[in-house]
A and B are shown apart, each in its own frame.
Chain A
Amino acid sequence: MLTLETLPTVMSTQRAESLDVERVREDFPILDRQVGGDVSNPGAGPDDTTPLVYLDNGATSQTPERVIDAISKYYREYNANVHRGVHHLSQEASIAYEAAHDRLAEFVGAGGREEMVFTKNTTEAMNLIAYSWGLEELGPGDDVVLTEMEHHASLVTWQQIAKRTGAEVKYIAIDDDGRLDMDHARELIGEDTEMVSVVHVSNVLGTVNPIADLADLAHEHDSYIFADGAQAVPNRPVDVEELDVDFYAFSGHKMCGPTGIGCLYGRKSILEEIQPFLYGGDMIRKVTFEESTWNELPWKFEAGTPLIAQGVALAEAADYLEEIGMERIQRHETELADYAMEQLEGFDDIEIYGPPRGEDRSGLVSFNLDSVHAHDLASIMNDYAVAIRAGDHCTQPLHETLGTAASARASFYLYNTREEVDTLVEAIDSARQLFA
């Protein structure tokens, strides 16, 4: 079991009261779904007979009723374009949309709406900074420092910006248990470093990276730091000022919000200096045939009709998560992942990736079963209506480091139960027997 001396982070979350899962589950209508029938007609059908066990939360989370209601209420009662109408509905929509920025800023400890830009997703937030800042500022001799566990969202983006600017991308190595090699980080981050772009929580390994330490390192060398929080914000308290990052991004659909919206936190002093990413309506102040000037933050980075329904729904999701309590969610997830790892560790033919049980890690388990390819495993899991992810999880270079083309990943969230973990283990066992 866990020893408290070695586990300051886990210890602090254990003070949180435990979560009433059965009550939480009632908030999510989709959890009543049965599956297994024809997939060409989306939605429940007569041949769907097996209760869903949804363990693919790292890919996307499910949506509570009140967030669905927030979307519905927007379209039923105050759908209008924002920032351009004096009419009643437009004012209602504008106020709600702007307040959503304040809400999300508060959720991650940002200074206010000026520091909270809505984007399509984490990937677009990354691209926004890479294009607006990177393309302008990077050049030959400059380094962008990433990690070997980067998601393609940041890896491919900086790789391509580096190609265009002549900058060089360097990767902080990971050890055998999937932790960052901080000595290597200290070697790589130096005078030439202009940007350190690191994933906060690995979507494959579950590793929680020491972002504040990396921020110190980056700032010592006058570099910016961008943390990808797609797998962190949904399941643990995050405070961008405490982490001391310059940029931080996350996605709505992984935190009980709708698809199509992500958030970019940026330090106000930096966002004021850099150029817009997309041009068009709403992001301008004054336009002539020759020149344009830009709107104030954050609207300068939100060209065209923005994500109004998604924004107000995401604010609702933030309310929902906070009412339950981020520490409780973190604790619940960690307990489920611990339980799953404990079960899987009992089998010699299963390899688990990432830091060992007991260390601070997120609520996911990536693994491979010796005799069964990850995709075959996911297909057999699907027979039990167990939804897991199989593949490279948008981290092909990391999988090369791990020495496998694909892995299976079960990722847990606030509504998952120990019984669902038992079903997962049972389904793995039946795959093992089928292929024996």
Chain B
Amino acid sequence: MSMGSDMYRQQILDHYKNPRNYGELDDATFSHVGENPLCGDAIRVDVKLADDGETIEHVSFEGDGCAISQASASMFSGELRGKTLEELDAMDRDDVIDLLGVDISPVRVKCAVLAEKVAQDGAAIYQGEKEDMDMTTTEE
């Protein structure tokens, strides 16, 4: 067998089967939803900001979809805690792929970056930098 199954290393499978930060945040500052039409992945991300209005205090998510999208959301939600909205905005797809720690095949990158894009769009809408939209999608 070739190298590809690296994509499903234990850590990813663990986050998929036992997602962290899963559920709804009652006191979220903002929430946003998104989907990846390729796999039919869907996700909602809730973010609660600290009193300074900039620092992310807590993140949770709920979703349904492939292992890559859901494990990525689980890992990413933990990573965001303590970051500022500016830091969130500055993140790109490589940050998520580093976080996952595996090679993501090109067609599956859209799955991996879904949570990140949803969080970034949610933050931009909250700050008035982006017009409100029904949902984020990771299809080009």
Contacts and interface: CB of A to CB of B under 8 A. Distances in A.
B40 A385 contact: no
B67 A435 contact: yes
A322 B123 CA distance: 61
Contacts of A39: 105-106
B13 A435 contact: yes
A376 B66 contact: yes
Contacts of A379: 4, 7-8, 68, 105, 108
Interface in B1-19: 1-5, 7-8, 13, 16-17
Given A39-B105, A434-B13, A435-B13, A373 B39 contact: yes
B67 A405 contact: no
Given A405-B40, A434-B13, A375 B66 contact: yes
Nearest to A385: B2
Interface residues of B, number: 21
A405 B35 CA distance: 12
Contacts of A49: 2
A383 interface: yes
Interface string B90-122: 000000000000000110100100000000000
B13 A392 contact: no
Interface residues of A, number: 24
Contacts of A392: 40
Contacts of B67: 372-373, 376, 435
B38 interface: yes
Contacts, number: 60
Interface string B36-47: 001110000000
Contacts of A384: 1
Given A405-B65, A434-B8, 14 more contacts: A40-B106, A373-B65, A373-B67, A376-B66, A376-B67, A376-B68, A379-B7, A379-B108, A380-B5, A383-B2, A384-B1, A385-B2, A391-B38, A391-B39
Contacts of B8: 376, 379-380, 434-435
A406 B40 contact: yes
Nearest to B35: A405
What 7 pairs between A and B have smallest CB-CB spacing?
A: A405-B40, A36-B2, A373-B66, A383-B4, A375-B39, A383-B5, A375-B66
16 contacts: A35-B2, A36-B2, A36-B4, A39-B106, A40-B106, A50-B1, A373-B66, A375-B66, A375-B68, A375-B111, A379-B4, A379-B7, A379-B8, A382-B4, A384-B1, A435-B67
A50 B108 contact: no
Nearest to B2: A36
A436 to B, nearest CB: 9
Contacts of B7: 379
Nearest to B6: A383
Contacts of B5: 380, 383, 434
A36 B3 contact: yes
Contacts of B4: 36, 379, 382-383
Interface in A367-390: 372-376, 379-380, 382-385
